[in-house]
Structure 1
Amino acid sequence: MARRRIRCLHKWCLSGEVSRPSVVLLAIALVLSSPMARVQASTGGASLMQSIPERLAQQQEATPSESDRAAAQRAFQQGEQLSNQGTPESLRQAIEKYAEALRLLKAMGDRQWEAATLNRIGLVYSSLGEHKQALNYFNQELSIWQTLGDRRWQAVALEGIGKAYQSLGEKQKALDCFNQALSLHRTVQNRQGEAATLTSLGEVYKSLGEKQKALDYYSQALPLWRALGDRQKESQALNYIGLLYYDLNDRQKALDYFNQALPLVRTLGERFGEAAILTSIGALYNDLGEKQKALEYLNQALLIRRAVEDRAGEAATLNNLARVYDSLG
């Protein structure tokens, strides 16, 4: 329950989001929440949508031996399985397996999947909170994609580098990487990557206290998520925008965006997100002087917090309820 709580709460904070690595190299939306977090990222690269083990098995180009290719495939698959377990011990073991695959791929001269495996190692180090190590592997990955002239995957690597710099507190370097990635995504018309990078830019500007800039980037990402049909990312963008309008003291606009996000999270079954938005709406109504509406939403949030055993969220909602009752006298 604790791990699920951390994962769900993370979706509704502005510092970023993380889930387990997918079977393929999907590295655009990398957001970290804890050393034990699992990382997921995505791109619109249809040509690379098969799993890396499958692609390794299918390649028929000249290699030192069929046994080397099979060994690389096997090591990579073992790395995936260990990475998906998400424990510190299994993540360390995953790095060893990926490194084994990497040695074989280098010997085979397979630069594309060498870069892909470097990315996987970088993602695991990110999951462990070892961002300097992650940065080293992402930079190696970027160099290969640049040599191969693959702009789509250069953008993926730049996104990983940007996330690492962001986690290390080097915000300007993160912005530089994200802006380079954004330009590449737009050049190759990767709308999913564009939306993810716009969101990353919004996160950095929010952390720098530049709320209007953050709002601009989240607002650019929102219609892209809608066009892509990604309702989860759409609901997150609506929530982010609502929170920023709240911070900017535009209560009515904040309320509008929260009310758009609420039915989406309910449809998705995101109970933690639903409780967070209900709490925000309740707090807004209290600020607007509509005390009964505030109580209605806050009590709905409280029931959910208790149902999912979210003690921290329950305490926050109780605090908001106390503020309302205190104002009623």
Structure 2
Amino acid sequence: LARELEYRQLEGNTLGKLGTAYSDLGEIRKAIEYHEQALALARELEYRGGEGVWLLSLGDANQVFGDWDTSLQLFNDALKIFESIESLTRQGETLSYIGELQIKSGEWEDARKNLEKSLELYNRTTPVGAIDVLVNLGELDSVEDRYERAFSNFQKALTIASELELSPKKVKIFNKIGRAHLMEFEFNKSQESLVQAKNCCESALELAKDLQRPLDQGISLRNLGIVYFKYSKIKESKNYFTQSLDIFQTLGARYELARTYLELAKTLAENNELLEAEEKTKVCAFDAIRRNFKELEVRSYMLLGDIVWKQDNSQYGYYLSAVKTASFNPKIYTKTIFLLIDRMKRMEKDITIEFIEALKEVNIEVHFGAFLNALASKIHGSKDYSIEDLPVELQEEFNNFPIASK
């Protein structure tokens, strides 16, 4: 009986490993099929550790398809099991997966809590497990514009992966570093950031091809599409984007596909190909709404607002949609507020007044509401306002706000 039990556990592990192999090759549906078989067998044998592992693998696979609700449920189910059997390493791994998902969904505060708890658990068990946590923390730092911290976390992860010769981990790290350098370039316009982005993305693509990891290839190609656009190599940029879209379409990787449409649309808009840019942005917005990719939805509305405003500077409806959608997350809401203030500076006086009134109706942030009231008074020529209670950043925006003559 013991031998039979051991054999069947081995069978389950083999099924699970086949699922992981197919996942690495980008055949996610086959991966799910094998992981579900492994999960069923683990439950039949009441093998709790195996059940948790295959729940985790299924959650990761569903994440590729953009089915985040299912992924989160599977991750939480796995976490309960690992807590019950007191597996600290697996708890750390699961919390890292949850944190990664929360970064994508814009739940940044919860992501940081889970990732820091994950890192603490790994520090008590095995350092190699910390690679993914450090990468996720680096990405979180990037989206919060903390680039020095981001690169520090990425470098720690890369050092561990290089020492242990973990090439699949290095692909992901190079892609994340490349993306962070692109974000840094948008922030400081440093050519050094762009050069670093190009080098990292090319390294990631070469490794991903060698290892036959199509999902990672798609991400590398998308990043290179952005890089080459920044170098004004439009034809090469579009070629990289097309290759990336083809891969994600084939894989059914809905989140990465939507994100790629948005990044392509941004380059098209900057190149004044507005009709095609609008079309691609709406594709992203549709998927974002349908699959609850809230952060992508906000970014889509902002880009649509920019595209429409370029064609008719009296239109601001999409900007209102962006701020309403951003209400799901305080940090994204604040970021959106400052983006809208930047847009307002370029509007004509009458449109600015209209836009302020429209924003006041949908705004949910007290300080921004006070800012809008004071700004309206300033534009109308009244001195009946006070900005003393505003945060310093809003005071600076108010003092630097140009008042159009007409």
TM bracket (short chain) = 0.5 to 0.7
The question of 1:292 aligning with 2:387 is answered no
CA distance in 1, matches of 2:170, 2:215: 17
Aligned to 1:13: none
Higher helix share: 2
Q: 1:69 to 1:191 in 2, by over 3 A?
A: closer
1:139/1:161 contact within 8 Å kept: no
Identify the structure with bigger relative contact order (alpha carbons < 8 Å, sequence gap 6+). Answer: 1
Deviation of 1:131 (Å):
5.3
Query: In the alignment, does 2:204 pair up with 1:101?
Result: yes
Distance 1:96 1:51, change over 3 A: farther
Partner of 1:254: 356
- Alpha-carbon deviation of 1:172? 0.5
**Matching residue within 350, 355, 376 for 1:281:** 376
Instruction: Tell me how far apart the structure 2 counterparts of residues 186 and 309 of structure 1 sit (CA, whole Å).
Output: 32
Counterpart code for 2:356: A
Residue-by-residue CA offset, 1:112-134 (whole Å, 9 max, x unaligned): 11112223333444555655544
Q: 1:264 to 1:109 in 2, by over 3 A?
A: farther
**1:91 CA displacement:** 2.0
Shift of 1:257: 3.5
Give the match for residue 135 of structure 1.
238
Change (3 A) 1:82 1:161: closer
CA distance in 2, matches of 1:227, 1:69: 34
Aligned to 1:144: 247
Q: What displacement does 1:68 show? A: 4.2
Cα distance between partner residues in 2 of 1:78 and 1:255: 41
Letter aligned with residue 380 of structure 2 = Y
Q: 1:262 to 1:147 in 2, by over 3 A?
A: closer
Q: Which structure has the larger Rg over C-alpha atoms?
A: 2
| Distance in 1, Cα, partners of 2:214 & 2:298 | 28
CA deviation vs aligned residue, 1:245-283 (integer Å, no higher than 9, x gap) = 97555847625736969854599xxxxxx7xx6884354
Indicate the residue corresponding to 2:317 in structure 1: 216
Unaligned stretches of 5+ residues in structure 2: 1-102, 112-131, 137-156, 158-163
Aligned with 1:44 (options 94, 105, 114): 105
Structure 1 unpaired stretches of 5+: 1-41, 59-64, 268-273, 324-329
Q: TM-score, normalised by structure 2?
A: 0.48
SS in structure 1 at match of 2:383? helix
Distance 1:75 1:123, change over 3 A: same
What's 2:309 paired with? 206
2:271 aligned partner: 168
Does the CA contact (< 8 Å) of 2:262 and 2:300 recur in 1? yes
Question: By how many angstroms is 1:96 displaced?
Answer: 2.0
| Residue 111 to residue 220, structure 1, CA distance change in 2 (3 Å) | same
Cα offset for 1:158? 0.3
TM-score by structure 1 length? 0.57
Distance 1:233 1:80, change over 3 A: closer
Measured in 2, the distance between the counterparts of 1:81 and 1:178 equals 22
Q: Is the 8 A contact 2:327 2:333 kept in 1?
A: yes
Give the aligned residue type for 1:147.
Answer: T
Residue 130 to residue 310, structure 1, CA distance change in 2 (3 Å): farther
1:227, distance to aligned residue in structure 2 (A): 2.5
Instruction: State the AA in 1 paired with 2:105.
Output: G
Q: Which residue in the other structure is 1:31 paired with? A: none
Match of 1:114 among 214, 217, 226: 217
Does 2:288 correspond to 1:193?
no
How far off its partner does 1:153 sit?
A: 1.6
SS at match of 2:105: coil
What value does the CA root-mean-square deviation take over the aligned residues?
A: 4.7
Cα separation, 1, equivalents of 2:170 and 2:329: 38
Q: Number of paired residues?
A: 246
Q: 2:328 aligns with which of 227, 249, 257?
A: 227
Work out whether residues 360 and 369 of structure 2, in 8 Å CA contact, stay in contact via their aligned partners in 1.
no
